[in-house]
Amino acid sequence: MMIKNKKLIERIANFKDLFYLQPNASVIGLIPTQFNKSALTDPRILKGLAREVKRIVNFKDIDLIAGTELAGVTLATSIALETNKSFVIVRNKAVRVGRSNIWGDTNFLKPGSRVLLVDDNIAGGGTKRKMIKILESQKAKVTDLLVLYDFKYQKTKRFNLKKERSFLTKKKIKFHPLFTWKELIDLQYGHKMIDKDLRDICLAMEKMYLFNNDRYGYITKTINLMKKYKMRIPDYFKDWLKERGMKLK
């Protein structure tokens, strides 16, 4: 991991419910757990992360920080406060017709601005490509990408993560993942904040094809873990299972 501050690592390792079971039925399959974004609203964690980012990134070559709406905003704000660099927010789409996708562009975004793009995570990279294009449309140049964690998403066995993220290499964008998904899970597991069953499900999430159906048993594992935690199984989850011919036991 890039983070060296031991107190910060300890705080993240002991953050309650950093990973929690909340199955979300989607078109790509079951998403069994959630990453708790409250970690990026904890001022002590934000201050620690910002100081580490200041050490990791060469801010002599950065003119502007851009936070992606909504997940990257709090981390980007803390980095701006730590470095005294101007800060903008990049939206997927404008709130109203005729408005800019970038909040703060009038004052701070100039042609040729060298930008550090900040988000909470990266999976395939599609969202980051879109945000980079939005900034480039204003003649800015994204030179660095920083995320809290790198989620090396494997949708199918044929999914080529290197190809999906090749735009980073082509555009010569420096990539700064503060943690990997596995590092965060191992930290929490090592400090007994999650048990082995939840750890196994979290680790398997990078291979989402494991949750398309119950061929590999991970949906059953998720259901059993919900029963173990005495969680109510939501109706939408029951409907999703029924559509796929699966029954609760």
133: helix, coil or strand?
Answer: helix
CATH number at 150 reads: 3.40.50.2020
Helix (H) or strand (E) holding 68: strand 64-68
Domain count, the chain: 1
Residues 6+ apart with CB under 8 A from 59: 83, 85, 116
Question: Would residue 37 count as lying in a domain?
Answer: yes
Q: What is the pLDDT of residues 202-223, one digit of tens each?
A: 999 999 889 988 999 999 999 9
CB atoms within 10 A of CB 15: 19
Identify the domain containing residue 120 by its residue range.
6-243
Question: Would residue 85 count as lying in a domain?
Answer: yes
Q: Which of 216, 217, 187 is nearest to 199 (CA)?
A: 187
Residues 6+ apart with CB under 8 A from 133: none
Q: How high is the pLDDT of residue 174?
A: 98
Q: How high is the pLDDT of residue 96?
A: 79
Q: How high is the pLDDT of residue 87?
A: 96
The dihedral region occupied by 15, where left means phi > 0, alpha psi between -120 and 50, and beta the remainder, is beta
Residue type, 31: I
Q: What is the pLDDT of residues 108-135, one digit of tens each?
A: 999 999 999 999 999 999 999 999 999 9
Question: Would residue 1 count as lying in a domain?
Answer: no
Question: Would residue 163 count as lying in a domain?
Answer: yes
Question: Would residue 184 count as lying in a domain?
Answer: yes
Q: How high is the pLDDT of residue 134?
A: 96
Ranges of residues in the chain with a pLDDT under 70 are 249
Question: Would residue 216 count as lying in a domain?
Answer: yes
Asked whether 116 and 62 are in contact (CB, 8 A), the reply is yes
Distance CA 53, CA 70 (A): 19
Q: How high is the pLDDT of residue 18?
A: 98
Residue type, 163: K
Q: How high is the pLDDT of residue 65?
A: 98
Q: Which of 170, 184, 243 is nearest to 19 (CA)?
A: 184
Give residue for tokens 């949906």.
219
Q: How high is the pLDDT of residue 29?
A: 83
Distance CA 79, CA 142 (A): 16
Question: Would residue 249 count as lying in a domain?
Answer: no
Q: How high is the pLDDT of residue 224?
A: 95
Question: Would residue 111 count as lying in a domain?
Answer: yes
